[in-house]
Chain A
């Protein structure tokens, strides 16, 4: 391999690969079946840029700068590179990028991280360029070797072919000489009509096999030589501190190695961790701890008090997030007035993989294994905690068993907790790597919820039923305030994530005012939750517009159509969903005593446009079932249509879970839920049939991970209203229909 041009990025890569070879502890009996973390990367014959490596073995490895947490990014990134490269899909593998903001930043964020449904949107051109540049270098290498003009060389499914000379070679065969070609300064991207993978239906996910045979490695599965498992005891209330710790019984549990206290920083708990040789022993040790807590500075309000406070706050003016026309004048003499108040609860993300993080501390260095969603912020926070520079914090990104936003914590809460535990252990002479594991109960109770919100709205209709005024007040905690993201997300005291979806609504209402009040005395930890502010604003906006239509005696589809005259992409999905759902045709009646209804909602978020029509059957006892959801989505150029369909199906299920059951409640500051019996998830029997229709588009691709989530709640509540006449304004729906 001495002919390879070793450039700087390649050397950095190889240093990283050396680290990956650190290896994994294999159980003796199952050495052949245990999954490996990373593993020795195949020798790279050709590494044209930071995103691609072609091996002499003909493998094409795409380096993914984004986290795969279920949303299909590995497949998407690989599709973009492989299409321009003209690789064969079966030769393409995906590997996680290391933490390195210089090479792997999210071009929309300026830091390395995954979120805001930006993975495809920020990188589509960058990934295509990476593939196209490599293709050009392979072609140049073949032209040189074969002594033929480059323009006579065709590349298809990983093979270069020169027709008139009959020469053929695989990528692997040409990789060595391609590496000696100059990197092209300017490459031409394909005309979309020549795409072989982008937009095509039969492009299998790259993570399907590993996730169906047990070999996929999540943080929970990382095993390192000598590694200890840490199970934690948190206080019941946010802000409480350990006063006295009796660890004698915990230390008496077999296989428990040490008990350590860790100090939070106001953004993560102060608590106690039990380190043991296995999870069960650590858990038993944790349960044997006797800890007294100092709750003098703890947060002690309950959900009811919080909501009562918000209701009062909504009687007062807030900061103005949008002001068109004069709402008070228009509301003074309405032909019809709609006044409504909404209560929306805290929501936990409740990913299937409870939060966890593996930490190995060295002298002046730290290595993490994590379902890593926000590399640069975590690197910075860990570096600050340890008093080292961020480049000394290396991160191996593994699959995340869901996240829904939670693993991108602006304060690095659970990562700092894990590092604090490892540091406390190291101070006691333990140098082994530590895997911090939150059990489901910690995952449910430790906060970082979608904030609870209160909305109050007044809508005025004129004599013709037209919506002439909309005055809206929102009260709830800011997710940006006090975080490193405050400077980007907050302006003039308004957290955009509290009002997005409402203050930027496309409905043409001549007099529109949106106000926000942000409490400063509520210390429940909050952060983004799949689709962020749209989770509550889309619900309130779309149910209110529906109510306005019904009040005006108009069809909800036609009413929206009239209000969206200047919003062609919203209109596009609205019309498509309505047509595919058979809007306007009567629903097949239910059985005796059953009422059926259809509801519609349209919303744009993260620059994607979605409309959904839900059909519901309500039984005489008030129990109900969502039978069918028809969804239309416009996300620009569709990269992986089947992944888009999957994200709409999943987004609908995630949103429906919250709409039906989701609520975190507090009593005296103590979170009342702990596991799936009281933070109830959607189960298969509640999942409706889902039809997804994708709008063909040549616009720039936009995200699909989040935009499918916020519409099902309003579509369902509108369907329930159509069936029963009852307007639901408090979520979750739970037993509000009597069942």
Chain B
């Protein structure tokens, strides 16, 4: 039996401990905001926070999340950084198809938690693992700057 904390809720699981956290979140817990894109940590669509750090849930066994705090796109608004990132994404209409954006937002929130005033180079480095086939990259950069500005005045 594995005990997990997902977005502040306690969840227990007694299935395959090797199941990637991605599929546990989506298929077992019903949290479908976290997306499958590649299954090999190549695209970042599955990014969630594990104790605040961004991880690729498609290559992280659910057992590795035991006893740790998992934050997904559905719970990221509870944190002021996450909230600021979502607000900036909405203000600048970053999304197109939207499929990668949960992962983009989770990576951006993790960046801003450790670096409150990232440069374009910092952003490129932190966001390089998140692919967007619609190429919303111009607005992703702008939205991260926007969220940083919001947080600086908050």
Name the B residues within 8 Å of A223 (CB-CB): 30, 32
Check if B97 sits within 8 Å of A351, measured CB to CB: yes
Asked if A35 CB lies within 8 Å of chain B CBs, one says: yes
Q: Which of B40, B95, B127, B140 contacts A675 (CB 8 A)?
A: B40
Mask: chain A, 653-684; 1 = CB below 8 Å from B; 0 = not: 11011000000000000000001110001111
Q: Which of B27, B35, B127 contacts A401 (CB 8 A)?
A: B35
A27 touches B89 (CB 8 A): no
* Given A653-B134, A653-B135, CB of A642 within 8 Å of CB of B93: yes
Q: A642-B93, A654-B133 are in contact. Are A214 and B33 (CB under 8 A)?
A: yes
Instruction: Enumerate chain B residues within 8 angstroms of A15, measured Cβ to Cβ.
Output: none
Number of residues on chain B facing chain A (CB within 8 A): 62
User: Nearest residue in A to B30 (C-beta to C-beta)?
Assistant: A27
Asked if residues A649 and B123 are in contact (CB atoms below 8 Å), the reply is: no
B54 in the interface (beta carbon within 8 A): no
Is there contact, CB below 8 Å, between B99 and A401?
Answer: yes
**Residues of chain B contacted by A439 (CB below 8 angstroms):** 39
A733 to chain B, nearest CB (A): 17
Measured CA separation A265–B108 after assembly (Å) = 45
- The distance in angstroms between the C-alpha atoms of A557 and B86, with both chains bound, is 43
| Chain A residues in 8 Å Cβ range of B134 | 70, 352, 402, 650, 653-654
What are the residues of chain A within 8 A of B102 when measuring CB–CB? 214
Assuming the contacts A214-B102, A352-B133, asked whether A677 and B40 have C-beta atoms less than 8 A apart, the reply is yes
Pick the residue among B19, B30, B43, B139 that contacts A280 (CB under 8 A).
B19
A352 to chain B: which residues have CB within 8 Å? Answer: 35, 37, 43, 45, 97, 99-100, 131-134
B64 interface residue (CB < 8 Å to A): no
Interface of A is mostly: loop
B74 smallest CB distance to A (angstroms): 5
Residues of A within 8 A of B123 (CB): 684
A353 to chain B: closest residue by CB:
B99
Q: What residue in chain B is nearest A649 (Cβ atoms)? A: B138
Closest Cβ of chain A to B100, distance in Å, is 5
Contact with B along A679-692 (1 / 0, CB 8 A): 00111110101100
Q: Is the CB of B135 within 8 A of A212?
A: no
**Which residue of the partner chain A has the closest CB to B140?**
A684
- Chain A neighbourhood of B101, CB < 8 A: 211-212
Determine the chain A residues whose CB is within 8 A of the CB of B135 once the complex forms.
Answer: 649-650, 652-654, 656-657, 682, 687
B interface vs A, CB < 8 Å? 6-7, 9, 11, 15-16, 19-20, 23, 26-40, 42-43, 45, 72-74, 77, 86, 89-90, 93-102, 105, 123-125, 127-128, 130-141
List the interface of chain A (C-beta within 8 A of B). Answer: 25-27, 29-31, 33-35, 69-72, 204-205, 207-218, 220-221, 223, 229, 254-255, 277-281, 350-354, 399-404, 439-440, 642, 646, 649-650, 652-654, 656-657, 675-677, 681-685, 687, 689-690
Q: Please, could you name 11 A-B residue pairs with CB atoms under 8 Å apart, sorted by A? A: A70-B96, A70-B98, A72-B96, A214-B34, A278-B27, A278-B28, A281-B16, A351-B99, A675-B38, A683-B137, A684-B124
